[in-house]
Amino acid sequence: MSEEVYLKEFRGTIQNHQEHHNLTRLAYQSAWQFLVYGLFNNYSPVEVIANELHLAREAERELEELTRNVDWMRKMVGNRENEMKEELFILRWMRIMKRYFHDFTMWKEGNVELINSLVQIYRAANDNCRDISSECAYPLRNASENRVVNVQDLFEGGAVDTVLEGMQRPTLDDNVMRNCLYFFLNVSKRQKHEEKDETDEAKRNATKMELFEKMEEEGYEDIITGFCELIPYYLSLSENDLPFEDSSYYFVYL
């Protein structure tokens, strides 16, 4: 099947469901998953379709509906089979969003709302659904790298507060910590870069001060001390992990 036909079929399937609601939740999610993860030489047509069919808005709506049916505190004993299905759907949406924030550069709508949905799930899943909270950290990290997402969007969506809180958890695993570190390194580098491009200096300085104040409120000095002890460990994991030249943005620039 040619790429053009492939894209046309998935576009038609998703659009038809949005108009008539004729797919199961699994089928609708799978259609988006195949579209976003399709093997294409040119990603632009996929982005155009995703924008036209409002992937960000649809993902936010689906995640909101799914989270209502999960017992995040694990208080209920019964009905775990259905709840596990909901959690599986959430995990799959997290992986779609990971790819979405990493590869898509044309979309502009729904940044804050979608980030806030990820933040709410990350917070809810921290204690008892570690696999979900771990998956949430990836799209938040990718959002901090994507130039389409403004740094202020990360503040308004609650990502900055949430990542700060999460980094201080005593049970934080290595993968989540790594993504949290990168999140703040990305934010720091982008603010440094925007110094050259930002025409509204007052707005830039206000955003910068807001981040600094939040770091102080959440125990900035303690976090830095902890990171200094962890950095050598992360450097030893693989060549793709935190390089010292990037860590300087976090430890010195702010």
- What is the C-alpha to C-alpha distance for residues 58 and 17, in angstroms, rounded to an integer? 12
Phi, psi of 67 (to 5 degrees): -65, -25
Cα–Cα distance for residue pair 196/62, rounded to 1 Å: 39
Helix (H) or strand (E) holding 16: helix 3-20
pLDDT in tens, 121-159: 998 888 778 888 889 989 999 999 988 888 888 988 999
Instruction: Supply the pLDDT for residue 82.
Output: 61
* Residues 176-198, mean pLDDT to the nearest whole number: 74
What structural domains and CATH numbers belong to the chain? 54-253 (1.25.10)
Q: In terms of C-beta distances under 8 Å and separation of at least 24 residues, what long-range contacts does 149-155 make, across chains too?
A: 149/101, 149/111, 149/115, 150/111, 151/187, 151/190, 151/191, 151/194, 151/207, 152/207, 153/111, 153/112, 153/115, 154/115, 154/187, 155/207, 155/210, 155/211
Q: What is the C-alpha to C-alpha distance for residues 45 and 39, in angstroms, rounded to an integer?
A: 12
What was the pLDDT predicted at 172? 65
Distances (CA, A) of 220 to 37, 129, 198, 212, 226: 38, 27, 26, 9, 10
Residue type, 234: Y
What is the predicted pLDDT for the residue at 248?
Answer: 44
Separation between Cα atoms, residue 148 and residue 82, nearest integer Å: 36
**Nearest by Cα to 15 from 63, 45, 52, 47:** 52
| Res 64: pLDDT | 92
Summarised one tens digit per residue, pLDDT across range 60-114 is: 999 999 988 887 776 655 555 666 888 899 999 999 999 999 888 876 677 889 9
Average pLDDT over residues 28-52: 83
The residue that leads in pLDDT, 251 or 16, is 16
pLDDT tens-digit series, residues 2-18: 778 888 888 999 999 99
Tally of CB atoms within 10 A around 85: 14
Asked if 179 and 137 touch (Cβ cutoff 8 Å), the reply is: yes
Calculate mean pLDDT across residues 239-246.
49
